[in-house]
Amino acid sequence: MARPERRTMRDVRRNNQAMLLRTLYFAGPASRLELTGLTGLSAATVSSMTGDLLGENIIIGAGQVDSDGGRPRALLRVNPLYGYAIGVDVSETHVRVELFDLAMHERAKVEYVLRPARHDPELVARHILAGVDVVLSDAGVPPEQVLGVGVGVPGIVERGDGGLIHARSFGWDGVPLAALLRAGTSLPLHVENGAKAMAQAELWFGSGRGTGNAVIVLIGAGVGATVVAEGATLHGVTRSAGEWGHTKIVVGGRPCRCGGRGCLEAYIGAEAILERAGAPTHTAGWQEELAGVLASDSPVVAETLTYLGVGLANLINLLNPEQIVVGGWVGHLLGERLLPAVRAAVAENSLAQPYAATSIVLGNLGPDAVALGAATLVLEEFLSAAPAARMTAAV
Amino acid sequence: MARPERRTMRDVRRNNQAMLLRTLYFAGPASRLELTGLTGLSAATVSSMTGDLLGENIIIGAGQVDSDGGRPRALLRVNPLYGYAIGVDVSETHVRVELFDLAMHERAKVEYVLRPARHDPELVARHILAGVDVVLSDAGVPPEQVLGVGVGVPGIVERGDGGLIHARSFGWDGVPLAALLRAGTSLPLHVENGAKAMAQAELWFGSGRGTGNAVIVLIGAGVGATVVAEGATLHGVTRSAGEWGHTKIVVGGRPCRCGGRGCLEAYIGAEAILERAGAPTHTAGWQEELAGVLASDSPVVAETLTYLGVGLANLINLLNPEQIVVGGWVGHLLGERLLPAVRAAVAENSLAQPYAATSIVLGNLGPDAVALGAATLVLEEFLSAAPAARMTAAV
Ligand SMILES: [Zn+2]
Ligand SMILES: [Zn+2]
């Protein structure tokens, strides 16, 4: 029921161009004839636009394919070396910086360990800036070939240019990370919640591919979820949707670092599981520690499964998704060992119809997908805005 | 990132026609000139389509308005008497049938009381069919002027023509209500979950008007929620989204009639509140009984506020809506007396940023909005499909 806006011919051409590029990226290599079928654009439009994109080196030839009786058809694809995207994962334990080409193949990577509870914004910004320099020099890529830097961070990222970050677990309350980075780089920046960045990677390249109704959950030190409905990510009115970790599953229950009580994160976050097992938290080896707890016969394992089952069942009852993708390092530890038990716990706590409609799978990009996800923010911009801007003169 | 489908000129004309009609319905009366601005359609297209619609009596003149210096412009509007819509509310306590004109003004109404726990599907179908006859004869409207019958029911309505209903609270497990009604009427039928039907009414005509990101909650004997994201209702993959009442807020808590434990409905549904207060449930006067409990100084009141606060806060943390509209008869009882206390309980249990972005309001269509909501299903069909079908010959 939304009112359509007036669109100019230039808008139409931009949208069509972006659609063509996205189609080539996700469905290519493809011939011009296939592109007319896939996009619904006329042969003349496809021919003119592919000509422009070839001239810009944004797309390239990809061999040819025989056609029935006619001459062979040239295949086209997006040029994976047209530019590069940098993805940054800022987590409780580290700052990881990775360089990708446009095919999202990793070209270089560097990681800085954060000392537990030492998350000074200036330090994090310095790590990111140093990491950008390191990955570019390691891969021999000049900065002008970089299309942008995506940064995945915990907490809520305010909309708008300032992009203030509120992450209570970090002690960040209105941190202007983008502004801090601006002091050291002129590359385009995209700052987003890490769970949402990871979710985008799983949706585009991982387990969520092809699903229009999905929830991608991230379970690590923090716990979050990204809801995808009818193919669109639900951001919420101030872009803070997805705080699944702070939904309450036990009224008046365990205290949570958000200040509330009984939050899901206070039961299934890394810290919560270790605390309930009487193990030390936030140590250098806490990932191994947690793996040990989950492999043991501690009652904490069964309890954690119940809490996770309730948390996932709440998503199923409320949202009726086709798929739930479980990611994050704790999610992967749980899922790799215990996915059938997780499913059983979900079944016990959800209504039969929506449960039957949902498949619960482990994210197949692994626990380190946040940096890749952050880089897809750059890719998204490239696929929608950058070529359009470039084509303005040709309209 | 969805792939666009090929669209024929006929599809384009149908979509434009529906858009024009919707615009006139929600933004009218309007002149042809205003319609070009509101829809982005050309003056020639608006002129041709309004001519067709005037010829069909679907739209009518609505006076005229002076234009600067030129001749006065004729205003157009949707003809409120072009047809009628019937809305049916099937609830725990009654079957209510209401007749509306296309301006959604009520023309006639009849109600059948259901004895508690007596929800035989054949009996419900007989009440509906009898009610349709009664409201038509009361209003003097012949059946051929009725565009359809919308029926709001509890529980999950399966997609597809069969529309089997699963409503555990009714003891309905796969009830073919549409088929039962088919035996007695040839009017077009639209069966939908009552909470979703009510939500549509609040979104189109009530408190939710103009909100793109909202949750409309219904609290009665059953408890449900309708999520609206970016202007679109979230149905879920098998149309069972919205079972907010069966999300768990107390792991291992009070037994719920869904068979689970600790569901929100087991704390804030009508039955649950009365049971916790030691009052009789499902009596003829249980609405008054419940009003009495909520007006008392029973500790049950404060507890209920806490549970409702947690339930609403979970929606806010997960979905970051702009608005929450509270409806349903228990919702109205709670909201009319205690809305500030509800808001305080929500604030205590939600994150500060998304809480600050959400307004929590009482549905202003009142506790009886389900029948109106069900009738809007008919209106929706009229505004999107019916005129398009009619115009096929003209393409
Ligand atoms: Zn919390
Ligand atoms: Zn339940």
From B184-188, B365-369, B379-383, the region with the lowest mean pLDDT: B365-369
Residue-wise pLDDT tens digits, B5-48: 445 666 677 778 888 998 899 888 999 988 988 888 888 889 99
Place A394 in a pLDDT band, splitting at 50, 70 and 90. very low
- Please report whether residue A331 resides in a domain: yes
Strands A94-101 and A84-90: antiparallel
- Which CATH number does the domain housing residue B47 bear? 1.10.10.10
Question: Is residue B152 over pLDDT 90?
Answer: yes
Residue-wise pLDDT tens digits, A16-33: 888 899 889 988 899 998
In a 3-state reduction of DSSP, which class is residue B96? strand
Shared-domain flag, residues B179 and B222: no
Q: What is the predicted pLDDT for the residue at B376? A: 94
What are φ and ψ of residue B72, in 5° steps? -60, 150
Please report, rounded to a whole number, the percentage of residues in chain A having pLDDT higher than 70: 93
- A155 vs B contacts (CB less than 8 Å): none
Q: Please give the residue range of the domain that contains residue A67.
A: 9-78
- Please report whether residue B1 resides in a domain: no
Shared-domain flag, residues A358 and A213: yes
- Please report whether residue B328 resides in a domain: yes
DSSP assignment of B108-120 equals: EEEEEEPPTT---
List residues, by chain if needed, whose CB lies under 5 Å from ion ligand 1. A 246, 256, 258, 260, 263
Q: What is the predicted pLDDT for the residue at A5? A: 44
B209 CB near a chain A CB, below 8 Å?
A: no
Shared-domain flag, residues A292 and A314: yes
Radius of gyration of chain A (CA): 23
Question: Is residue A131 over pLDDT 70?
Answer: yes
> Strand ranges (DSSP E) for chain A?
30-31, 59-65, 73-78, 84-90, 94-101, 106-113, 146-153, 156-157, 165-167, 172-175, 189-193, 214-219, 223-229, 232-233, 323-327, 359-362
ipTM of the complex: 0.83
Q: How far does residue B267's CA lie from ligand 2's centre (Å)?
A: 10
Question: Is residue B110 over pLDDT 60?
Answer: yes
Shared-domain flag, residues B130 and B249: no
> Which A residues 38-57 touch B at CB under 8 Å?
38-40
Residue-wise pLDDT tens digits, B286-317: 888 999 999 998 999 999 999 999 999 999 99
Distance from the B223 Cα atom to the nearest Cα atom in chain A, whole angstroms: 11
Name the residue type at position A55: G
Question: Is residue B210 over pLDDT 80?
Answer: no
Answer yes or no: do A238 and B23 touch at CB < 8 A.
Answer: no
A393 vs A220, more confident:
A220
The pair of structure tokens assigned to A289 is 């520690």
Q: Which ligand is nearest to the CA of A350?
A: 2
Question: Is residue A322 over pLDDT 70?
Answer: yes
Query: If we measure between CA atoms, which residue out of A95, A164, A151, A154 comes closest to residue A124?
Result: A95
Tell me what the mean pLDDT of segment A118-126 comes to.
Answer: 89
Q: What is the number of structural domains in chain B?
A: 3
Query: If we measure between CA atoms, which residue out of A92, A96, A93 comes closest to residue A106?
Result: A96
- Please report whether residue A395 resides in a domain: no
Whole-number average pLDDT of chain A: 88
Query: If we measure between CA atoms, which residue out of A338, A328, A311 comes closest to residue A365?
Result: A328
From A64-78, A341-355, B215-229, the region with the lowest mean pLDDT: A64-78
- Which CATH number does the domain housing residue B150 bear? 3.30.420.40
CA A355, CA B235: separation in Å to the nearest integer? 15
Asked, as a colleague might, if the bond just before B154 is cis with ω within 30 of 0, I would say: no
DSSP assignment of B227-244 equals: EEETTEE---TTS----G
Shared-domain flag, residues A66 and A94: no
- Please report whether residue A391 resides in a domain: no
Query: If we measure between CA atoms, which residue out of B351, B319, B354 comes closest to residue A246?
Result: B351
Shared-domain flag, residues B13 and B159: no
Q: What is the predicted pLDDT for the residue at B392? A: 38
- Residue A42's alpha-carbon distances to A33, A45, A355, in angstroms, are 10, 5, 43
Question: Is residue A249 over pLDDT 50?
Answer: yes
- Please report whether residue A393 resides in a domain: no
Q: Which of A78, A96, A119 is the endpoint of a domain?
A: A78
Q: What is the predicted pLDDT for the residue at B299? A: 94
Tell me what the mean pLDDT of segment B249-254 comes to.
Answer: 96
- Residue with the two structure tokens 């009520």: B106
How many CA within 13 A on the CB side of residue B31?
Answer: 11
Shared-domain flag, residues A27 and A73: yes
Shared-domain flag, residues B162 and B216: no
B356 vs A69, more confident:
B356
Shared-domain flag, residues B229 and B328: yes
- Please report whether residue B3 resides in a domain: no
- B307 vs A contacts (CB less than 8 Å): 251
Q: How many CB pairs under 8 A join A and B?
A: 186
A102 vs B11, more confident:
A102
> Which B residues 6-25 touch A at CB under 8 Å?
6-7, 19, 22-23
What's the 3-state SS for A14-59? HHHHHHHHHHHHHHCCEEHHHHHHHHCCCHHHHHHHHHHHHHCCCE
Tell me which chain A residue has its CA closest to the CA of residue B5: A40
Shared-domain flag, residues B187 and B297: no
Q: What is the predicted pLDDT for the residue at A9? A: 64
Burial of B347 (0-12, 13-18, 19+ CB in 10 A): middle
Q: What is the predicted pLDDT for the residue at B389? A: 41
Q: In what order do the strands lie in the sheet with B172-175?
A: B156-157, B165-167, B172-175
The Cα diameter of chain A in Å comes to: 73
Q: What is the predicted pLDDT for the residue at B385? A: 64
CA A288, CA A296: separation in Å to the nearest integer? 12
Q: How far does residue B170's CA lie from ligand 2's centre (Å)?
A: 13
Tell me what the mean pLDDT of segment A282-295 comes to.
Answer: 86
The length of chain A in residues reads 395
Q: How far does residue B89's CA lie from ligand 1's centre (Å)?
A: 39
**Optimal mutation site among A276, A312, A320, A379, interface B, most CBs of chain B within 10 A:** A320
Shared-domain flag, residues B67 and B127: no
The pair of structure tokens assigned to B375 is 């009738």
Tell me what the mean pLDDT of segment B93-108 comes to.
Answer: 94
Question: Is residue A4 over pLDDT 50?
Answer: no
Which residue among A2, A248, A319 places its CB closest to the CB of B313?
A: A248
Name the residue type at position A207: S
Tell me the pTM: 0.84
Shared-domain flag, residues A49 and A149: no
Q: What is the predicted pLDDT for the residue at B26? A: 87
Residue-wise pLDDT tens digits, B367-381: 778 999 999 999 999
Place B319 in a pLDDT band, splitting at 50, 70 and 90. very high
Query: If we measure between CA atoms, which residue out of A236, A173, A181, A226 comes closest to residue A204?
Result: A226
- Please report whether residue B392 resides in a domain: no
Sign of CA dihedral A78, A80, A82, A85: positive
Residue-wise pLDDT tens digits, A61-93: 988 887 777 778 899 999 999 999 999 999 888
Tell me what the mean pLDDT of segment A382-393 comes to.
Answer: 55
> Strand ranges (DSSP E) for chain B?
30-31, 59-65, 73-78, 84-90, 94-101, 106-113, 146-153, 156-157, 165-167, 172-175, 189-193, 214-219, 223-229, 232-233, 323-327, 359-362
The length of chain B in residues reads 395
